[in-house]
Amino acid sequence: MRCAAKVVMKMSEKKPCCSGGGCCAGESVTPYGEKDKWVTGEVHTPRGGVPMVSTKLDFKDILGAWKVRWGIGRMDYKINPGLYAVGNPDDASPVLVSANYKLTFDALRKELSGLDCWILILDTKGINVWCAAGKGTFGTGELIIRVLRTKLSKMVSHRTLILPQLGAPGVRAHEVTKQTGFSVVYGPVRARDIKAFLASGFQATEEMRTVKFTLWDRLVLAPVELASAAKTSLMVLGLLFLVNLFAARPFGLADFIAYAGAVIAGTVLTPLLLPLIPGRAFAWKGWLLGALWTAGFAWLNGWFASGSLLLATGYLLVLPSLSAYLAMNFTGSSTYTSFSGVIREMKTAVPLIVLSSAAGIVLVLIKSLSA
């Protein structure tokens, strides 16, 4: 029988006090709040209680995920770093390492039903594993500190840490081993493959090791792209409102639809259709969809008639550029663009976008003010 860690359900709000000599047995090694409903109890270890987490997401978790997907409070959606327990782990149970972004933590724990394991959460300032690894907060130093601070070597008898593969950009595995004695095993990219990975004795298939960017992956990113573009758009609309005070041809619903379409082309349609749009540079892909939209909408509105040609030309210069700019910014949300590639793309795209939109704005304003 291995070291039997006792499970105590959260029955009382008060901390159970131990007999004699400084009460601390009930003290959780990882602090958590009463509002954290995902903590279902504590696993008691010689080093203190370890919060046991549910492998099911409740309404609050799902609502929280929905909010951050729309960009509401997403930079402050985090849990305390430290050690957590899933099921009823003992000193032989595997240790999974993850980030303290709540969305990440939820994605991980919901895949762990029926398992007994430890989760070591690093302080990544509420950022997901991959981005944090790129910044270095999911990194060698933080991992070493967290292993030492949780006294992990006394919690488990083995010396293996399972890291998500996407943590690798931030972690020098051999350095961690040198400093802590724990060897690093890189697990699969996606949490849903962890069970298969553990069951096969740490074997990950090529498929499990490959980052994808599926239609669904791109779809869940759409709201936050749209929300952030909408915020900036409010300023644009404010400016147009001011222009309207002097305009001979005030901006109206058709102009708004033309503009909104270009924003959607850049933030939603280009991401969704990404691999289907010919070409490789994001700005080009966005420009293409923006140009198709603008040309189509201008034609429908009869803006190509001689009286409105100035307007059509102006919009064809400014709106596709806007789509191109928004699509170019989607490089940061994609899973396959390199820094060198983005720099190369920007060298061509940014000057064109600036010149084209400046010319377009001038034409549209001339049309609007002089009609």
Return the axis-axis angle of helices 282-300 and 253-264, rounded to nearest 10°: 150
Nearer to other proteins by Cβ, of 101 and 315: the residue is 101
Choose between 205 and 370: whose C-beta lies nearer to other proteins: 205
Residue 264 CB, shortest distance to other proteins, in Å, is 17
Considering only residues 264-293, where is the footprint of other proteins by CB under 8 A?
274-276, 280-283
| Distance of alpha carbon 251 from alpha carbon 273, whole angstroms | 30
Nearer to other proteins, 104 or 368 (CB): 104
- Tell me which stretch binds other proteins (CB under 8 A): 83-91, 98-106, 148-156, 210-218: 210-218
189 touches other proteins (CB under 8 A) = yes
- Candidates 19, 35, 206, 246; binder of other proteins (CB under 8 A) is 206
Identify the CA nearest to 297 among candidates 285, 312, 309, 283.
312
When asked if residue 61 is in the footprint of other proteins (CB under 8 A), the reply is no
Task: Identify the residue among 6, 149, 174, 192 touching other proteins (CB under 8 A).
Answer: 174
Interface positions, 226-265, toward other proteins (CB under 8 A): 228
| Residue 120 in tokens | 């070591």
Interface with other proteins includes 179 (CB under 8 A)?
no
Which residues from 94-133 bind other proteins, rule CB under 8 A?
Answer: 127, 130-131, 133
What mask of x and - would describe binding to other proteins in positions 323 to 342, judged by CB under 8 A? -----xx-xxxxxxxxxxxx
**Tokens 């924003």 map to which residue?**
263
**Closest approach of Cβ 104 to other proteins, in Å?**
14
The answer to whether the CB of 211 falls within 8 A of the CB of 189 is: yes
By CB under 8 A, residue 171 contacts other proteins: yes
Q: Which residues partner with 96 through β-bridges? A: 119, 162
Q: What is the DSSP string of 183-247?
A: EEEE--SSGGGHHHHHHTTS---HHHH-----HHHHHHHHHHHHHHHHHHHHHHHHHHHHHHTT-
Query: Collapsing DSSP states into helix, strand and coil, what is residue 59?
Result: helix
What DSSP character marks residue 296?
Answer: H
Binding range to other proteins, per CB under 8 A, among 249-257, 261-269, 301-309, 345-353: 345-353
The reply to whether 198 sits near other proteins by the rule CB under 8 A is no
Nearer to other proteins, 26 or 341 (CB): 341
Q: How far is the CB of 225 from other proteins (least distance, A)?
A: 8
CB contact at 8 A, 161 and 147: yes
Of 93 and 357, the one with the shorter C-beta distance to other proteins is: 357
**Alpha-helix residue ranges (DSSP H) falling in the chain:** 59-69, 102-109, 129-135, 140-149, 152-155, 173-180, 194-199, 206-209, 215-244, 253-264, 270-273, 282-300, 309-329, 339-370
111 token code pair: 């895949």
Among 17, 344, 365, 371, binds other proteins (CB under 8 A): 344
The residues in 131-170 that bind other proteins, with binding defined as CB under 8 A, are: 131, 133-135, 165-166, 168-170
Contacts with 71 (C-beta within 8 Å, 6 or more apart), sequence order: 223, 224, 227, 228
Q: Which residues form the interface with other proteins (CB under 8 A)?
A: 71, 74-75, 127, 130-131, 133-135, 165-166, 168-174, 186, 189, 206, 209-211, 213, 224, 228, 274-276, 280-283, 328-329, 331-346, 350
